[in-house]
Amino acid sequence: MFLLMLLISGLSIYSIYNLDRAASNIKGRYDTLSNLLSDKGESEQEQGFFANEMLLEAVQISDDQLKYSYILIFTVVGITLLFGIVLTVFIPRVITKPIMNLFNAAESVAGGDYSVRVKSAHSSSEINTLVKAFNNMIDNIDRSSSELQKKNEEILKLLETTKKFNEVLESEIEQATREIKEKHKELIKREKLATIGELASGVAHEVRNPLSGIALALELMRDETKIEEHRHTISDILQEIVRLERIVKGLFQLGHPKSLSLIECEPNDIVERALSLVNMKAKAKGVLIEKELSCNKQFCVDHEQIEQVVLNLLINGIEATDSFGKITVMTKSVNGSVEISVADTGCGFSDDEIEKILQPFYSTKESGTGLGLAISNRIIEAHQGNFNITSKRGVGSKFVVEIPHDLHDEISG
């Protein structure tokens, strides 16, 4: 490019030099012609002829110089146009286009696309060096980004694992806390029952025998007296003594539960025996008893204690249900357990009462001792079973007893 510019400058200087020589030549001829015209020693005809020759020669020189100047100018213009065309094609291809490619690639990288690469340009080594440096930079960025992405994924996995671990730990803590509370509650209940048992032993020892003597004396007095009012009063006192004896017996059973005498038996048979004992009581009150005994499997239980539980539930249902009410007794086999349920349409319990009815001495009946359901729950627990109660005030209650089929194996284990 420098040589081309030097060539154009040389041609321009040479053209100027030729124009200057032509101008000097014309001026010299003009001076000579002027001197000839002023020379009086020559004839006018010779002077005119010579002057005409001089002018023609000057015009010819001028024409030649103009023609040369036009040729030179057209040459310079052509060279300039060619140079412009070369610049128009060469510069975008060699300089501008590679730079624009670099610019576009830089914008893509700024947008997060590290896959873009710039092809090597057919241009100067400086631009190729810049392209190689740019591609190397993108390779390093891409490599660093990939490593950073992997580390981020590992961190996310670690965070997810930590989150799951925390959730499991939290769940385990909640379960452990719940178990501790239940065991603490069970411990308090057992301590309470133990206290009641000690109290029951003392009360039974000190009260039961005197009560028997009082009952015997009152029966003799009732037989001997002829006053009907006295006989009625003595009968009321004897009923209260029977109630006291029932309370003492319940205290004994609650504080010192009997050991289990396990035998294979039919749950339907136990329910049928309990129903036979309460049928007259239900009919007298006008309560309908329906039964759905669909369990066809045996279970290993202390049949007397389980019969006591069912009998207690039936009596409570009859006492809680008004005339023309209904009690439904069901047996079925569910998930390896025998389920016995007693549902009534009686007065039901509130939520607060449901939480308390299994506690000793808590009763919603005026004449209740508050020991029946507590003793029943103790018997069910001894059989490794569950006691579920659902109730709604004014609608009725449902008591469900669940006892495992293979109770003997569980107790042995």
121 or 289: which carries more pLDDT confidence?
A: 289
Mean pLDDT in residue range 14-41: 62
- Helix axes of 125-203 and 97-110: crossing angle, nearest 10 degrees: 10
Mean pLDDT in residue range 339-362: 84
Give the tens place of pLDDT for each residue, 196-240: 666 666 666 677 677 778 888 888 888 888 888 888 888 888 887
Does residue 385 surpass a pLDDT of 60?
yes
- The most confident of the ranges 164-178, 204-218, 236-250 is 164-178
**Domain boundary at 109, 142, 174, which?**
109
| Sign, CA torsion 23/24/27/33 | negative
Categorize the per-residue pLDDT at 95 as very low, low, confident or very high, splitting at 50, 70 and 90: low
pLDDT at residue 147 in the model? 85
Mean pLDDT in residue range 95-112: 72
**Domain boundary at 74, 109, 144, which?**
109
Question: Does residue 124 sit within a domain?
Answer: no
Does residue 412 surpass a pLDDT of 90?
no
Longest CA pairwise span in the chain (Å):
211
Record the tokens describing residue 10, joined without a space: 């040389």
Categorize the per-residue pLDDT at 94 as very low, low, confident or very high, splitting at 50, 70 and 90: low
**Contact by Cβ (8 Å): 15, 72:** yes
Q: Bridge-partner residues for 327, per DSSP?
A: 289, 344
21: phi then psi, degrees, rounded to nearest 5: -65, -40
d(C-alpha 226, C-alpha 240), whole Å: 22
Question: Does residue 299 sit within a domain?
Answer: yes
Categorize the per-residue pLDDT at 122 as very low, low, confident or very high, splitting at 50, 70 and 90: low
Categorize the per-residue pLDDT at 268 as very low, low, confident or very high, splitting at 50, 70 and 90: very high
**Around Cβ 396, how many Cβ atoms within 10 Å?**
22
Mean pLDDT in residue range 366-378: 76
Give the H/E segment covering residue 334.
strand 326-334
Residue 157 falls in which region: left (phi positive, over 0), alpha (psi -120 to 50) or beta: alpha
Give the H/E segment covering residue 402.
strand 396-404
Of 16, 23, 34, the closest CA to residue 61 belongs to 23
- What CATH number is attached to the domain comprising 297? 3.30.565.10
Does residue 134 surpass a pLDDT of 60?
yes
Strands 299-301 and 263-265, how do they pair?
antiparallel
Burial class (CB in 10 A: 0-12, 13-18, 19+), 179: exposed
pLDDT at residue 201 in the model? 65
Strands (E), 345-395: 386-392
Does residue 69 surpass a pLDDT of 90?
no
Question: Does residue 243 sit within a domain?
Answer: no
pLDDT at residue 314 in the model? 92
pLDDT at residue 275 in the model? 92
pLDDT above 70 covers a percentage of the chain that reads: 69
- The most confident of the ranges 152-166, 215-229, 235-249, 371-385 is 152-166
- The most confident of the ranges 68-77, 322-331, 402-411 is 322-331
pLDDT at residue 200 in the model? 65
Residue type for position 169? L
d(C-alpha 237, C-alpha 280), whole Å: 25
Mean pLDDT in residue range 255-275: 85
d(C-alpha 362, C-alpha 369), whole Å: 7
150 or 23: which carries more pLDDT confidence?
A: 150
d(C-alpha 377, C-alpha 170), whole Å: 32
Does residue 410 surpass a pLDDT of 60?
no
pLDDT above 90 covers a percentage of the chain that reads: 12
**Contact by Cβ (8 Å): 209, 333:** no
296 or 50: which carries more pLDDT confidence?
A: 296
**Domain boundary at 109, 142, 165, which?**
109
**Contact by Cβ (8 Å): 352, 314:** no
61 or 162: which carries more pLDDT confidence?
A: 162
pLDDT at residue 40 in the model? 47
- Helix axes of 2-38 and 44-91: crossing angle, nearest 10 degrees: 170
Range of the domain at 25: 2-109
Burial 285-294 (b: 16+ CB within 10 A, else e): eebebeeebe
Does residue 413 surpass a pLDDT of 50?
no
pLDDT at residue 376 in the model? 85
pLDDT at residue 28 in the model? 66
The tally of domains found in the chain comes to 2
Question: Does residue 186 sit within a domain?
Answer: no
pLDDT at residue 218 in the model? 83
211 or 163: which carries more pLDDT confidence?
A: 163
Question: Does residue 185 sit within a domain?
Answer: no
What CA–CA distances, in Å, run from 407 to 250, 299, 307, 413? 25, 7, 16, 10
Of 347, 365, 364, the closest CA to residue 355 belongs to 364
pLDDT at residue 343 in the model? 93
Question: Does residue 145 sit within a domain?
Answer: no
| Percent helix, percent strand, percent coil in the chain, to nearest 5 | 70, 10, 20
**Contact by Cβ (8 Å): 340, 331:** yes
Does residue 4 surpass a pLDDT of 70?
no
Q: What's the chain's average pLDDT? A: 77
234 or 12: which carries more pLDDT confidence?
A: 234
Mean pLDDT in residue range 51-72: 67
Name the residue with tokens 């049949």.
303
Cα 220 to chain centroid, rounded:
79
Question: Does residue 225 sit within a domain?
Answer: no
Question: Does residue 335 sit within a domain?
Answer: yes
